[in-house]
Structure 1
Amino acid sequence: MPDPDIVVVGGGMVGLASALALGERGLAVALVDPGEARARTSYGNAGVLSRGSIFPMAGPALWPKLPAYLRNADSALRLNHAHLVRVVPWGLHFLAAARESRWRRAAAALVPLTTAAYPAHERLAERAGTRARLHRSGWLKLYRTETAFAGAALERAILAEHGVALEILDGAALRDREPALVRPYARAMLLTETAALSEPGALIEACERLFSQTGGRYLRGAVTGLAPEAEGWRVAYAGGAVRARQVVVAAGAASAEILRPLGYRFAFAAERGYHRHYALHPDSPPLTRPVLDTGAGSIIAPMGEGRVRVLSGVELNARGAAPDHRQIEAAAREAAGTLRLGGPLDNQPWMGSRPSTPDGMPVIGRAPRHAGLILAFGHGHIGLSTGPITGELVADLATGAEPALPLAPFAPDRLLRWPRL
């Protein structure tokens, strides 16, 4: 077959959206991915598409919780202490980013991206035939005590500064809005400019079908080499090799490993997460929107047909390490006090790895030292929600168009020239 114009490495939400946007611009596209649907982070997402998802993990609220995090005494974060040595550069810069000034700067940079995310999802859903899976329901952040609610005052202030719409609910109003909740909460914040996507994996499957139907070449196999050549790039993978003038690396948590032989050393870590599906009790009202229980550090999201997805907090561990189910088991116990749950619907919890940058912002832009190489990874917790708009930005870069959004905050070289701490 003739060589494509461009190769996209990675078949998650960012990679597929990029491949589809590039094809829509008239380019011949090949996509290289191992083809393991359940292994993709997009598959295991909570399905929250929120304009208010503008806060990196590294923020000023980290410091009072740090001793508990280091002892694995807070269910929101679990550390493999032996692995921390391998991510020291990431960890040092992560801590350096946990200042209010840096948090505010990141939020301001992410607002244009998250604002454009939902319209881009609508455009993609229309093409892929998945519009019925998008629900503009909002999502809830739940606070068990007035003290916990007061501790999130800075977050609410920054959201207000950027015009993100929200409502504050007391316990009685929360029960009226979401009668499925049985645990008493002191307060809740309803982010109204939020959509929920039921079954994120079904969207990924629909995008794969659309890619093939519109002439894309799907090459199944893990990438084993990426090398510049006189006329472009050679991408080697488990099933062979493909050449193109341009290449997009959108391989999520595997991106840093793929780029390392080219001399790029990104401060990068993989955040592992888990989920498991549970049936709601037959007598329970349905859960109508995703909820984040800040007291448990976990999310519960409706997935249709009387079932919910319980998602754990963050685990810092090697991508290939054996699963550690203690965190998702703790999340499930807490969820059983929040909703009337039935039994688990999965034999084993799902596990995936989110690509995490120290400053909590994705890498989107041209590689600084190689022509024809575009990078699009590191989206952390917002890869599913901002994947479609990232794909459109990648297509802008590949075709020489002016990017629809400012990309300077997401420039790859910001992670290659860290200032002194």
Structure 2
Amino acid sequence: MSVETVKAEVVVVGGGMVGLASAIALRDRGLDVLLCDPGEARARTSYGNAGVISRGSIFPMSSPALWAKLPSYLRNADRGLRLRHTHVARVLPWTAHFLASARTSAWERAAGSLLPLTSAALPAHLALAERAGAGHLLRRCGWIKLYRTHAAFAGAALERAILGRHGVSFEILDPDDIRAAEPALIRSYAQGMLLPETGAVSDPGGLLEAYQQLYLGLGGRTLRMVTTGLKPEAEGWCVRHDGGTVRARQVVLAAGAASGEIARGLGYRFAFAAERGYHAHYALHPESPPLTRPVLDTGAGSIIAPMGEGRVRVLSGVELNAREAPPDYVQIEAAAQEAGGTLRLGASLDNRPWMGARPSTPDGLPVIGPAPRHRGLIFAFGHGHIGLSTGPITGRLVADLATGAPPAVPVAPFAPQRLLGWPRWNPVQGRQRAD
């Protein structure tokens, strides 16, 4: 394919789960689609995901519990969050929006907005995986949140109350229930919560590859390149890259953590940050029972997920740092040490831990919708921790927006306009506005 004169009806910038699912959905509508991506599979956040597809994944990181934990966060004393303070100062719009969102009313509102998206996530994935011949990579098995103390479990009462109000199923587990559900666990936990309306992906990278083959089989085209800018033209768009240009009637920007920088070239300054995360793979001890579903150890701030026969993936908490900064393995090393007290682990299976950057919005909601000032540009990024799980339903929404069809789920809460501007919040009155 010539990189100098390429044309398409729609160009999708970004080949992660959201971009790829969008490209598939657009091809399903009969559009000529070109997917533009550097082709670095291991660098995609979808590759490094925990593989959890849960209807209950409706809670932003900016929770009301933030205020009690803020002193430990600022000292980097909490395992779930590590700050590079100079970077946080560089993303002041994100920081201000994030703090303004850490209120009970905002948290509940965000959960209600995300519920239609997460409720459609597993059915959309199962349908797409069946088409791609990858149904064996998804299981309806639920996942478990584990609490080391009764006080920690009590501290999550608001989360359970919100889940209950929205009709999300969960089961409370006592220590005997936890041992029966997961015999592989060797650490004692005070209580747990099983969310049964959850699927798990045993190989996120393999699932992404299967979807890529499905897209190519539908006649979709790909171009391996790094996007350097978008330029509106009289009859569409010009997508610039290091080897030439691509012209299209519409553009979908779904480049994950790189989306904010690309959008800035058009004058959109989103309150946006990169949440970096790490994972490492370990074999289970030969005498250990298998781990049958992902588990979140809230005391360690990390997730352990089964990834195929006899292998588990240990995932760290969140690191707020510049996307291009060198890796900092402190969190994943701590998570791996904690995992060694949770499971009987065998040998490490990686030469070095994986690192990726999630696109983070301060209110925890993705950006899905038409660009406010440019016709023919659709934003689809900022999914944070739910990009892999909600990718297929987001792709359907993108195709709806591109073709003028009614959206499959409400998209108004995800409008780009909400993150453009500087927040002003009165902590007494609890009001927020953008100037």
TM interval, shorter chain, is over 0.9
Query: Is 1:38 aligned with 2:42?
Result: yes
Q: Distance in 2 between matches of 1:131 and 1:83?
A: 41
Provide the aligned C-alpha RMSD in A: 0.9
Q: 1:214 pairs with 214, 218, 223, which one? A: 218
Residue 238 of structure 1, CA deviation? 2.2
1:57 alignment counterpart: 61
Q: 2:274 pairs with 251, 270, 280, which one? A: 270
Q: Distance in 2 between matches of 1:176 and 1:416?
A: 49
CA contact (8 A) 1:220 1:239 kept: no
Q: 2:78 pairs with 70, 74, 77, which one? A: 74
List aligned pairs for 1:255-404, cutoff 5 A: 255-404=259-408
Q: 1:110 pairs with 108, 114, 131, which one? A: 114
Q: Distance in 1 between matches of 2:86 and 2:247?
A: 40
Residue 122 of structure 1, CA deviation? 1.0
Q: Distance in 2 between matches of 1:355 and 1:99?
A: 22
CA contact (8 A) 2:171 2:194 kept: yes
Query: Is 1:195 aligned with 2:199?
Result: yes
Amino acid at match of 2:205: G
CA contact (8 A) 2:307 2:313 kept: yes
Amino acid at match of 1:250: A
Residue 194 of structure 1, CA deviation? 0.3
CA contact (8 A) 2:80 2:318 kept: yes
Query: Is 1:185 aligned with 2:189?
Result: yes
CA contact (8 A) 2:144 2:192 kept: yes
Residue 418 of structure 1, CA deviation? 4.8
Query: Is 1:20 aligned with 2:20?
Result: no
SS at match of 1:5: strand
Q: Distance in 2 between matches of 1:84 and 1:21?
A: 36
Amino acid at match of 1:161: R
Query: Is 1:130 aligned with 2:134?
Result: yes
CA contact (8 A) 1:32 1:237 kept: no
Q: Distance in 2 between matches of 1:229 and 1:123?
A: 37
SS at match of 1:41: coil
SS at match of 1:119: helix
Q: Distance in 1 between matches of 2:213 and 2:120?
A: 24
1:240 alignment counterpart: 244
CA contact (8 A) 1:271 1:353 kept: yes
CA contact (8 A) 2:138 2:199 kept: yes
SS at match of 1:352: strand
CA contact (8 A) 2:62 2:363 kept: yes
1:249-305: CA deviations, max 9, x gaps?
000000000010111000000000000000000000000000000000000000011
Q: Distance in 1 between matches of 2:296 and 2:22?
A: 29
CA contact (8 A) 2:34 2:220 kept: yes
Amino acid at match of 2:132: A
Q: 2:100 pairs with 91, 96, 100, which one? A: 96
Residue 245 of structure 1, CA deviation? 0.4
Q: Distance in 2 between matches of 1:162 and 1:367?
A: 31
Residue 417 of structure 1, CA deviation? 4.0
SS at match of 1:288: coil
CA contact (8 A) 1:227 1:235 kept: yes
| Structure 1, gaps ≥5 residues long | none
Residue 240 of structure 1, CA deviation? 2.1
Amino acid at match of 2:178: L
CA contact (8 A) 2:144 2:295 kept: yes
CA contact (8 A) 2:54 2:389 kept: yes
1:168 alignment counterpart: 172
Residue 16 of structure 1, CA deviation? 0.1
1:319-342: CA deviations, max 9, x gaps?
111000010000000000000001
SS at match of 1:376: strand
Displaced runs of 4 or more, over 6 A = none
CA contact (8 A) 2:96 2:423 kept: no
1:413 alignment counterpart: 417
Q: 1:6 pairs with 7, 10, 20, which one? A: 10
Q: Distance in 1 between matches of 2:397 and 2:124?
A: 11
SS at match of 2:406: coil
1:154-211: CA deviations, max 9, x gaps?
0000000000001001001110111000000000000000000111001111111222
TM-score by length of 2: 0.96
CA contact (8 A) 2:269 2:421 kept: no
Residue 239 of structure 1, CA deviation? 2.7
Q: 1:149 pairs with 137, 153, 156, which one? A: 153
* Matched positions, count: 421
Amino acid at match of 2:367: V
Amino acid at match of 1:264: Y
1:355-411: CA deviations, max 9, x gaps?
000100000000000000000000000000000000000000001101111111000
Amino acid at match of 1:374: I
Residue 217 of structure 1, CA deviation? 1.2
Q: Distance in 2 between matches of 1:53 and 1:233?
A: 35
Amino acid at match of 2:213: R
Residue 212 of structure 1, CA deviation? 1.7
CA contact (8 A) 1:14 1:391 kept: yes
Q: Distance in 2 between matches of 1:417 and 1:23?
A: 35
